[in-house]
Amino acid sequence: MYDYVIVGGGSAGSVLAHRLSASSAHRVLLLEAGQDTPPGKVPATILDTYPGQAYFDPRFHWTELKVRTQVVSHNNPDAERPPLRKYEQARVLGGGSSINGQMANRGAPHDYDEWEARGARGWNWDAVLPYFKKVERDLDFGNEWHGRDGRIPVRRVPEAQWPVHARAAAEAFRQAGFKALPDQNGAFEDGFFPLTVNVTETERVSAAIGYLDAETRRRPNLTISTETQVMSLIFEGTRCVGVHALVGGEEREFRGREVILCTGAIHSPAHLMRAGIGPAGHLKEHGIAVRADLPGVGQGLMDHPAISLSCFVQPEARLNRTALRRHMVVGLRFSSGIEDAPAGDMFMSVASKSAWHAVGEQVGSMLTWVNKTYSQRGQVRLASTDWRAHPEVEFNLLSDRRDLERLMIGFRLAATLSLSPPLAAVTADPFPASYSDRVRRIGVVNTKNRILTSIIARFLDGPAALRRAFIDRFVIEGFRFREVMEDEEALEAFIRKATIGVWHASCSCRMGAEEDPMAVVDTEGRVRGVQGLRVVDASVFPVVPSANTNFPTLMTAEKMADAILAGNA
């Protein structure tokens, strides 16, 4: 019998396992479907400060999960449904923090003030800042914005170490009138800055590495069971008392005083719905007895819609000409200027390398996303009652036209910057980029792709005319740079087709006030209508913040860990 059974060893689960087991009075069990990353045996691709290989390594994610990103028409059943796209959801200890882009971004103060305004009392900026500081050990700053004693080191790559391409992008930002900011996570204002990342000079520091270190693992009251997939939640009436799980092919039952779901915005609502917690009508469609009618379960799924403009990077400007492994070192926060949008509602990240392979080393990208998105019509629904089946996931990006309009603004800005003298001097042949199935297939880390891309790379480094012909024939997918810049309808069509999320799934089990019918959990993660069950991950966000979601998730887990310990003291 455990005090806490934590389902999911991602960012939130790693934090909770560390904090809740700090007292020897608490017996804690952490269950993770993926493989372990123990000290001294962390796979090299996870430790790498360049994340492009870990992210596409099938060992580290759910290989069969697919989602729809474009808007799904539910009012017109005869409308063509958007295609399903593979979704690289982490399946490894540390979760997304083990394979993601390593961005240590907090978001805007107004994000968390909005959380409180939406019913998450006690989650305004002043309330969450101490927990952001608790997470980090900032290696560069020691002011009122930053912590120096946290489990996760954060730093910024000095400009002197940047590749020529990144320095050219920074100069393009400067010449365009943007302010140079020393600290992305300092005062929230528009400008460009060295990106804040959770790496040392040589290695990634995931949540698992930071929170589940050797000392923590030696605690006799903490058990970590990896390669363990939870099949179902166990209830006695309306109290959750444990889980059924598959461990090494053997079914096991684990009982606990509390069960805490930390499986993310896609799988946490699926666990709830299979247990009879969710929209009553949907549960009845699947023959599931309703334990708690919570219409908000699986609803309101959010992400940041994004688009990319890529280009050929001249050999002397490439990342591989430096000792640096990181491919993204400089970013830009800017304001779209559309009505009602807050300042800093847009974000642009410069990638001096677009993939792990030889072609990726030749291609630079300007990835632009809507930092403050308004599209909130995504959903997660059960495809089957079978625990092995992934849920149906519809992000419905661009369901709010304001997000489409701002991506058009962002793409035009990226185009202007790419044609400006600093970047034009080190790049050539800009093109609208699409993260298509073809790009995904060639991004899988294997020998075949390594050989294929090395051959293609020789063509791209050849005569300019041959390179342009090759890009037109094999790289772009239906839209050319001049076309989208001269034709408004073509630009809109390109963005509607090529927009992707940036793996910031959130808000599908959101916290809120008791009188809010769509709130799933309270401000301490307790699931409404049942006992002994909490959700602590990005699914509880009331709205996705203007940030990569890893650090907001770490902050949320730290804050809820304190609440759990205070309530059970």
The pair of structure tokens assigned to 489 is 């309808």
Query: How would you classify the pairing of strands 191-194 and 328-334?
Result: antiparallel
Residue 365 carries which side chain, given as an amino acid letter? S
Q: Which of 26, 61, 110, 504 is catalytic?
A: 504
For residues 399-432, b (16+ Cβ closer than 10 Å) or e, as one string? Answer: bbebbbbbbbbbbebbbebbebebbeebbbbbbb
pLDDT of residue 456: 87
pLDDT digits (tens, 9 = 90+) for 447-481: 999 998 898 888 888 888 888 887 877 777 778 99
**DSSP states of 277-321:** EE-HHHHHHTTPPPSEE-TTTTEEEB---EEEEEEEEPGGGSGGG
Nearest one of 398, 406, 408 to 378, comparing CA atoms: 398
Per-residue b/e over 298-309, b at no fewer than 16 CB within 10 Å?
A: bbbbbbbbbbbb
Q: Is the separation of the CB atoms in 461 and 470 below 8 Å?
A: no
pLDDT digits (tens, 9 = 90+) for 517-559: 999 999 999 999 999 999 999 999 999 999 999 999 999 999 9
Q: From its phi and psi, is residue 57 left (phi > 0), alpha (psi between -120 and 50) or beta?
A: beta
CA neighbor of 398 nearest in space, from 423, 435, 373: 373
Q: Tell me, rounded to whole angstroms, the distance of Cα 54 from its chain centroid.
A: 14
Q: Is 267 a catalytic residue?
A: no
* Cα separation, 535 vs 381, whole angstroms: 17
pLDDT (average), residues 28-37: 98
Main-chain dihedrals φ then ψ at residue 447, nearest 5 degrees: -65, -40
Rounded CA-CA distance 372/347 in Å is 9
- Listed by start position, the domains of the chain span 1-157+204-297+505-569, 159-194+306-372+399-498
How large a percentage of the chain has pLDDT more than 70? 99
- Mode of pairing for the β-strands spanning 152-156 and 196-197: antiparallel
pLDDT band at 440 (very low <50, low <70, confident <90, very high): confident
| Residue 72 pLDDT | 80
Check pLDDT > 90 for residue 71: no
**Distance, C-alpha 491 to centroid of its chain:** 26
| Percent of all residues in the chain with a pLDDT value above 90, rounded to a whole number | 85
- Strand runs labelled E in 198-271: 222-225, 228-236, 239-247, 250-261
* DSSP string for 374-385: ----EEEE-S-S
Same fold, 1-157+204-297+505-569 and 159-194+306-372+399-498: no
**Number of Cβ within a 10 Å radius of residue 148:** 11
Distance CA 303, CA 226 (A): 28
CA pair distance 373, 510, nearest whole angstrom = 16
pLDDT per residue over 174-233, tens digit each? 999 999 999 999 999 999 999 999 999 999 999 999 999 999 999 999 999 999 999 999
Whole-number average pLDDT of the chain: 94
95 near 207, Cβ under 8 Å?
Answer: yes
Name the token pair of 274. Answer: 């299979």
Q: What average pLDDT does range 16-37 have in this prediction?
A: 97
Token pair listed for 185: 């996570």
pLDDT at 8 (0 to 100):
98
- Overall CATH class of domain 1-157+204-297+505-569: alpha beta
Tokens 């363990």 belong to which residue?
228
Strands (E), 352-475: 363-370, 378-381, 392-394, 427-433
* CA–CA gap between residue 558 and residue 541 (Å, rounded): 14
pLDDT at site 309: 96
Q: How would DSSP label each residue in 33-46?
A: SSB---TT---HHH
In this predicted structure, what is the pLDDT of residue 73?
Answer: 66
Query: Cα(106)–Cα(555) distance, rounded to whole angstroms?
Result: 9
> How many secondary structure helices (H) and strands (E) does the chain include?
18, 23
**Contact in structure between 359 and 385 (CB atoms under 8 Å):** no
Mean predicted confidence (pLDDT) in 82-111: 95
Determine the CATH number of domain 159-194+306-372+399-498.
Answer: 3.30.410.40
CB-based contacts of 117-126 (< 8 A; 24+ apart in sequence): 118/510, 118/512, 118/542, 118/543, 119/511, 119/512, 119/513, 119/516, 119/519, 119/542, 120/511, 120/512, 120/523, 120/542, 121/513, 121/523, 122/523, 123/511, 123/523, 123/542, 123/559
pLDDT value, residue 78: 67
Residues 394-420: what's their mean pLDDT? 96
